[in-house]
Structure formats: structure tokens, C-alpha cells
Amino acid sequence: MTETKTARLLSKIVYLFGAFSKFDFFSHLEELFQEAFGEVLFSFIAFDGQAAFDGQAAFDGQKGDGQGPMQLEFSNFSGLPRGGDCEQPAQILNFKEAFQHAGGGPVGRARPEAQLQLGDRMIPISWAKLIEVAGKKFGWIAFHSPFTGLEADRQELEAFIFDHVAVALFRLYDRESIQTQLDHSLAKLEAINCIGGLIGSLELEVLLARLMEISLFISSAQVGSVILKEEDRLVSRVEWGLNLENALKLRFVNGDSILERTIARGEPQLISNYQDPDQFQPADGIHVQSCMCIPLVSKGKLLGAVFLINSANNDGRFTKTDQDSILTMSGLAATAIENAILYKVALDRERISASLKIAQSIQKGMYPKEPPRVPGYQIAWINSSCEETGGDYFDFILPNPKELFITIGDVSGHGIGAALLMATGRANLRALCSVKKDVGDIVASLNTLLESDLDEDKFMTFFLSRLSLEDHCLEFVNAGHDTPLVYSADRQIITDLDSTGFPLGLFPEAGYDLLKAGPLGVGDVLLLTTDGVWEGSNASKQRFGKERLRETFKQHASLSPEHLLTAIHQEVIQYVDGSKFHDDLTMVAIKRVS
């Protein structure tokens, strides 16, 4: 071989080492082979995926025997795709029979039955060379007829060329692998950076949508969803082609849901092959090749999970690298999500608190601002709600100088709903008292009006009395309310004003009996309360009780109404000893003083 040809061969080998893409590499390789062997037809068949297999075992019934997964990456054979990116599935048929073994490994000469199979097409192989470096095997360069290798006296050149081709190909694949890993690492860092930029964000919906977007990007998943655990149920907050119903269909063969196992254990689940019938149940209506479910955990608290299905890479299968990337990112995201949830809760509480304060102000404005001026009587009250607003109601209506309507009521429950119903009852009652005189008619009409406003589980206990300021007698209707008490100063006894009908709002046509009491003597006291007074409980869950209320009332009945109520209130507070009140508390005292 002339020095000029040798120089040309060396220059073309140098070009191989400088190639940065498969296309460039195989173009230079074709030029090298033309210079060394003449016009030859050849193909490069790479071992598929993780294309290198170590050791002789690869050629003894394993993937390297030609029957395992391989792919055509280049061919200049007529009709086959050219370039380094064709990557068609391929097999070498009759591999063991076709290739002679020498020195413990497959080399060189092929028998006539050797063929390259590409789909339905069969292409004869006349000669082939295994490409390997340091025991790592990349694939075969297969030559097609009529080339059968160099003559015996030129095999040293042949060995020289293929040794350098193998090293150059190794460098190319290694460079591509490093570049792929670098690209993946950069993508991972970019995603983490994106999540890092969101940690300061307190917009929960924005965070969740961005988490879904970045998870799909990092993993190349085709569908997915972000699912949060809200109280005792799972809620799909962001869906990209995967709803909660379908996510729950993916189950292990024992019936356990992949999603629910992730939530229960707080551990990631990576399923690289969901098609294994020995491990997983079929998912009706969903094609699943692979899936992974990554928990969202912040400070030991499980918030939910990211569920991803079917990678766009690796034949649809997720890898451990995919899982690790999502785990890293989800750890940062979970902290941001928890902060956003807490912020939202705080905002909601602040908003509700502001609304309740407004409602409380309105409600307080409906209560009497000062006792009515009634000759011969002193009147006082105490009212406190266990929340910002309550359902207790009391009022005094003085339609004329001869009579005083006194009322107290309690809407079931408490809070803003009860307060609104109390306000409705107050408005209706004032309107009725201006047109009706009979206490029984007033209460019956009020019941009919409230029944249409109250839910089925709501009602209102109610007491209405009309005190004659001429003969000091009481006419009253007690619609299921706590029994009002009348203390007689002369006899030093307490009389109960018992219930005369059902609470309001239960039965639209209910009737109410009118009863009378009195007359009230000088020193006599009428005490009206709601059940929040005697239901106050201590740390042992024991109530203050009705009997203790009666005794305290009797003990302090000689006091002014204001001091009487203060004494009762102090007794109740002392009894509960710091325990929380679970109901509204209202007391009204009317005492005849002359």
C-alpha cells in the first residue's frame, strides 16, 4: 500500500474521531471503507437500548446472539435508510450457524445462510465484524455480497482499521451518553430551579399547575395528575389526561391501588412494566405500559401525590432516574404547597372572621341598647355568644304605656346561620306585635312564617309573654323554651312557666295554649334564660345544671336585676373553671320594685 493511500486512510480515521453525530460518523465511515475496501455495501446493527453486553455469555444464548433486541442504525444498502438516526428494529438470523467461532469469539466470515431481517425484508450478509472495546460490545458491521473481507496478507490492515473504528464508535457513543446525561441533568436542574422560584409563591392553584407541567417535562410522561389528600379523601386538583377514577384503576395483583399504597405508606411506586399479569391487574379502558406515583411530603406530613403514566421514551417505560428526578423536585414542591395551603387557610379564616365581625356588629345592633323605661320595674340582661355570632334572641316591645312584651328565644345551633334566623324571627315578631294583641295568635303566626325559612334540622325555642302594667299579670306562651322562673318575694318560692307547645319551625299548623301567671308582687322577679347557662360544663364534663341555677337564683333574688345576673354568671364561670362554653348564654331579669 502506497504512502499516499496510507495517509488518506489515516486522515479518514481521524475524521471518525472528530465526528459529533452518528450521521457524520457513518458518512466518514463509508468514505473510509471505500478507500480501504472499494465500493462496499454495509450496515451497522447496534445492540438495542443499553447497547453494550459484556463477556462471552452475550453470544451464548443471550441478547448478543443476534436473537435479542437490535436495531439498524446505518446502511448504504440500496433501499435502506441512510444516516445515523434510522434506528429500525433488526435481527441477524441464523447467527450461530452463520458465523464461525475462532479464539473463543465470533469473528469474520459468514456462511450463506446469514441474513439481516428488517421487518419483512431479508438481506444476505456475506461478512461481519463485531465492534467491541475493552469487552464492551456495541454491535455488528455487516457487509453484503460480494465483499467477504480482505485477503490473508492484508488482514493486519483490516485489524488496524476495525480496531480504530471500534474506539471511535466507543467515543461517539460515550460522548452521546454523556451528553444525554448532561441534558437530563440540566433539565432536572432547570425544573428544580423553576420549582425553587415558586417556593415563595402562595398561589396554590398556580403551584399545582406548575408542578404538573414540570413533572411531565422531566419524566416525559404522556399523562398525569396532581392529587391532594384533603381531610379523609383524595381530590384530583390538576389533571393532564388522567382523572382520579382512572388513577385508582391501576392496582397490584392483590387488589391494592398503586395510588392508595403511595398515600398510605408515603413511599414512591415505580412500575416499569405494568403489563406483567403476575404483578398487576388489567386497567379497563386505559393502556398503561409504565407508571410511577410520587408522594408529596413536607415536614413528615403527606399532602398527596404526583401520578404519571407512560413515558414518551424508553418504549414507554419510566426509569429509576425519572423517579429520582421527580422525587427531588416534589420534595421542594411539597414545601411550597404546604405553605400555600396554610396561607389559604389563614386567608379564609381572616375573611370569615371579618364577615363574622360584621355580622356580630349587625346582630348586636338588633339587641336592645338599653332597658325599656317601665314605671315600677327594673330590667337587666347578659348575653354572650360562644362564637362571633349566636342564635340566642331576646327583646322588649312596648306598644303602649299599659303593656310590655318580653321575649327570649334560641335557634338550634350557633354561628352566622343561627344569627340570620334570629334576625328573621325578630323582624317578624315586631311586625306581628304591631297588629295582633293575643299572645297565642302572635306565636302561631310566627311559627308559620319561620317554618318556611328553617331547614328540616333547624328549629327555634321561643318564649313570649305580655306583662300588664296595670294589674301586673303575665300572659305567656312557651314554645319549647327553657322554663322561665318566677321568684315570689313574699312566699320565697320559685314557680315554673312550663312549655305550652312545640318549638317554632317544626309543624306549620301547630297550636299554642295561652297561660297566665301572677300578679307579680313587689320584690318578685321573672328570670328568662337559654340553655347555654345551665349546660356549662366543668373539666369532668359535669353540667352546672338546672337545679344549681334555681338555687343560685333563689339565693340572690333580693339583689337588683343587674347584680342578680352578675352573681349567676359568676357562679357559672367559677363552676366551668376555664372550660370552653359550647353554646350561647343569655339571661334576662325583670323585677317589680314598686
Residue 112 is predicted with a pLDDT of 53
Residue 585 is predicted with a pLDDT of 83
CA separation for the pair 571, 284 (Å, rounded):
67
CA separation for the pair 130, 416 (Å, rounded):
83
The set of cell numbers assigned to 340 is: 400555600
Residue 380 is predicted with a pLDDT of 94
Residues 6+ apart with CB under 8 A from 201: 207, 336, 340
Residue 69 is predicted with a pLDDT of 63
CA separation for the pair 435, 401 (Å, rounded):
16
Low-confidence ranges of the chain (pLDDT < 70): 1-2, 48-69, 79-88, 93-113, 145, 148-150, 152-153, 176-185, 187-188, 190-200, 359, 362-363, 386-391, 413-418, 581-582
The answer to whether 293 and 259 are in contact (CB under 8 A) is: yes
Instruction: DSSP letter for 267, please.
Output: -
CA separation for the pair 235, 304 (Å, rounded):
9
Distances in Å between the alpha carbon of 289 and those of 233, 246, 327?
Answer: 27, 14, 21
Q: In terms of Cα–Cα distance, which of 132, 156, 142, 152 is closest to 52?
A: 132
The answer to whether 504 and 411 are in contact (CB under 8 A) is: no
Residue 387 is predicted with a pLDDT of 62
SS3 per-residue string spanning 90-135: EEEECHHHHEEEECCEEEEEECCCCEEEECCEEEECCEEEEEEECC
CA separation for the pair 290, 272 (Å, rounded):
5
**pLDDT per position as a tens digit, 81-106:** 654 444 567 777 665 544 443 333 34
The answer to whether 76 and 141 are in contact (CB under 8 A) is: no
- Which residues of 205-336 form beta strands (DSSP E)? 221-230, 233-240, 269-271, 291-298, 301-311
Residue 82, burial from CB neighbour count under 10 angstroms (0-12, 13-18, 19+):
middle
CA separation for the pair 121, 89 (Å, rounded):
12
The answer to whether 34 and 12 are in contact (CB under 8 A) is: no
**pLDDT per position as a tens digit, 459-499:** 888 999 999 999 999 999 999 998 999 999 999 999 999 88
The answer to whether 42 and 142 are in contact (CB under 8 A) is: yes
